[in-house]
Structures are given as structure tokens and as C-alpha cells.
């Protein structure tokens, strides 16, 4: 058997440039990567770039290679499908079950695990319509990551950044490992604390340690890949698709272990 095939869908957002790094990381993990960008995505990153990084032809049009029926074949041969970045428009069309381009048709035909990494302005993410669309896709078994918080297009900052490529790749790999197995953490809320704490001695000095938090981040990623709604309470700044509460004092970390979290999400049993 060959390497597992991952379809990387790219939609038309400024974060499309980060998809190049995602393709590279998936390739370095030994996966067969096929990129399916939308027409809008190609305004940000050219077809040749995706072809060079993936080592495969880039598929953009349902009318190319019609004899191979690409709008069905791509979905059938996928072991996982990830869409990064996923715009607000993509989320809305996915909920509607649209099939008006190659990426949407592939989304409809695949039975493989689906990972979606949204990226948009904060106001668009917070909009009730977008939140309803995300909830619907999660109910259907898709793994929809929360966007990270940080610098957005232009001078804007806030929640809406595409999660870092390594975070997305980790979730895809976990979904591949669990494909066909029940998402046994679906409906559960998981809180993970991670990172070295800093205990203030006075307004200037503190006692701390060099803990990186990597083990906690790995556990949080595994839980997310198994369908859980994960809250990461981190002593270190970190950008990824997990709900992040940043705090550096051990007493605060301990107290926040019991904070209420939003309604559970993730893949229900039966879908990785």
C-alpha cells in the first residue's frame, strides 16, 4: 500500500500563504498530498507553488481530465481532507452542501475524516451565522478548529488567525490514525494545563522554570483529534486551534482547571 493520501483544500484568504507550510509538513510526515485550491485561493498563491511543494499536479477545475471524473475520484481516494484556510464563505457553502467547484464536490464525496481550519476577521468569526455554521459542521462529524488570536489582515488583531501549520498537521495525523475508530472523546470537555509557571517575588522578580509545555500541548492535540472540546490553560503564549487561557501563576492554573467551557464540539462517534 502507498502512503495515505491527504487532500489539502485552500480557499481565498490571506492565510493561504501558510498553507504552503502545511503542505510541506504533511509531506515531511510521509503523506501523499494533493492540493485542491479554489479560484480565489490562486490569487494569493500560484498553482506552481503548490505543485512543487506537494510533488503532485494541482487540481482546480471540474472540467479538467473529465474522463477521470475528478470531482468524485479525489474524494474517493482521500484518506483525509483538510481545508486551510477555510473562509466564512466556505463554511456557509459547506453547510448548504454546495458542489459548485472542485473543492466543494470533493467535500461532498469523501467519507474520510475532514479537518477545517477557519481564518477570517474577528467580526466574521463572531457573527451568529458563522457560529451556527461551525456548530452544524461539527454536528456532522467534521473537526473544526478554533482560529488563533493575533495579527490579522492590515492593522487588525484579534481572534481569526489560521492555526499554525504544525497544529493543523498534528490534528490531521491524529485523525488519520483514528480513522474508522469511534471518536471516543466526542461530547467531552477536556482541560489541559501546560508550561512553566512564574511565581512573583516582587513587582520585578519571579521564581520560574524552563518547562516548555510540549507534553501538555501534545496531550491537548490528541484530545482534539479524538473529538473533544479542548481548553488549553498555558503558561506560555501559543497560537493554535485550541481554546487558550493564558496564565503564568500556578495558583491560577489550578483554579482554572474547573472553569466552565463552551458546549462540546468535535466529531461524534463513528467519524474520526
- Cα(239)–Cα(181) distance, rounded to whole angstroms? 29
- Cα(235)–Cα(242) distance, rounded to whole angstroms? 14
Cβ–Cβ contacts within 10 Å for residue 202, how many?
Answer: 6
Residue among 56, 127, 133, 209 flagged as catalytic:
209
Length of the chain (residues): 272
- Cα(212)–Cα(234) distance, rounded to whole angstroms? 10
Asked about 56 being catalytic, the answer comes back as no
Residues known to be catalytic? 209
Amino acid at each position: 500500500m502507498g502512503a495515505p493520501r491527504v487532500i489539502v483544500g485552500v480557499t481565498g484568504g490571506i492565510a493561504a500563504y501558510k498553507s504552503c507550510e502545511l503542505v510541506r509538513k504533511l509531506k515531511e510526515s510521509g503523506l501523499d498530498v494533493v492540493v485542491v485550491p479554489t479560484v480565489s485561493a490562486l490569487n494569493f498563491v500560484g498553482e506552481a507553488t503548490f505543485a512543487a511543494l506537494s510533488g503532485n499536479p494541482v487540481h482546480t477545475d471540474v472540467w479538467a481530465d473529465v474522463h477521470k471524473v475528478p470531482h468524485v475520484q479525489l474524494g474517493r481516494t482521500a484518506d483525509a481532507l483538510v481545508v486551510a484556510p477555510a473562509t466564512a464563505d466556505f463554511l456557509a457553502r459547506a453547510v448548504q452542501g454546495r458542489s459548485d467547484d472542485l473543492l466543494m464536490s470533493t467535500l461532498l464525496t469523501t467519507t474520510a475524516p475532514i479537518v477545517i481550519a477557519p481564518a477570517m476577521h474577528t467580526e466574521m468569526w463572531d457573527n451568529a451565522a458563522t457560529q451556527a455554521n461551525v456548530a452544524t459542521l461539527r454536528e456532522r462529524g467534521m473537526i473544526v478548529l478554533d482560529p488563533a488570536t493575533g495579527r490579522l489582515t492590515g492593522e487588525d488583531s484579534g481572534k481569526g488567525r489560521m492555526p499554525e501549520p504544525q497544529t493543523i498537521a498534528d490534528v490531521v495525523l491524529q485523525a488519520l490514525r483514528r480513522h474508522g475508530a469511534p471518536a471516543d472523546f466526542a461530547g467531552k470537555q477536556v482541560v489541559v494545563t501546560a508550561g512553566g509557571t512564574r511565581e512573583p517575588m516582587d513587582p520585578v522578580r519571579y521564581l520560574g522554570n524552563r518547562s516548555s509545555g510540549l507534553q501538555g500541548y501534545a496531550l491537548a492535540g490528541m484530545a482534539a483529534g479524538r473529538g473533544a472540546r479542548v481548553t488549553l490553560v498555558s503558561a506560555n503564549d501559543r497560537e493554535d486551534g485550541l481554546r487558550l487561557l493564558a496564565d503564568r501563576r500556578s495558583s491560577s492554573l489550578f483554579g482554572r482547571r474547573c472553569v466552565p467551557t463552551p458546549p462540546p464540539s468535535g466529531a461524534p462517534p463513528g467519524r474520526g
